[in-house]
Amino acid sequence: MNEELIELKVFFFSYFKDLTGCESTVLQMKSESTLSQALEVLRQQYPKLEQMKSSTLVAVGLEYMPPEYVLQAGEEISLFPPVQGG
């Protein structure tokens, strides 16, 4: 059976750019993949992200989404650190 793949754009903000060495990347995932699965792939590609696992804010488009959110082709995922006050 030939699984359909979807393409997702991922953006890294603040020191996530330093951890990954880039501002963005493109992920190819199986259709019906969840946000949690996409994050796991990103942690495999960029192992330094693992240290930020518990404090990463993740948005799909302009909205925070739960890990079980099912991704759609062409969506944009943004990873950034918690907002710090001063």
Question: Strand (E) positions, 1-86?
Answer: 5-12, 24-30, 57-60, 63-64, 76-80
pLDDT at residue 1 tops 70: no
Q: For the chain, how far is it from start to end, CA to CA, in angstroms? A: 54
What confidence score (pLDDT) does residue 2 get? 59
pTM: 0.90
5-80, CATH topology level:
Ubiquitin-like (UB roll) (3.10.20)
User: Residue 63's pLDDT band (boundaries 50, 70, 90)?
Assistant: very high
Which pairing describes strands 5-12 and 76-80: parallel, antiparallel, or unpaired?
parallel
What's the pLDDT tens digit per position in 5-52? 999 999 999 999 999 999 999 999 999 999 999 999 999 999 999 999
Neighbours of 83 (CB within 10 A): 7
Cα–Cα–Cα angle for 65, 69, 71, rounded to 5 degrees: 105
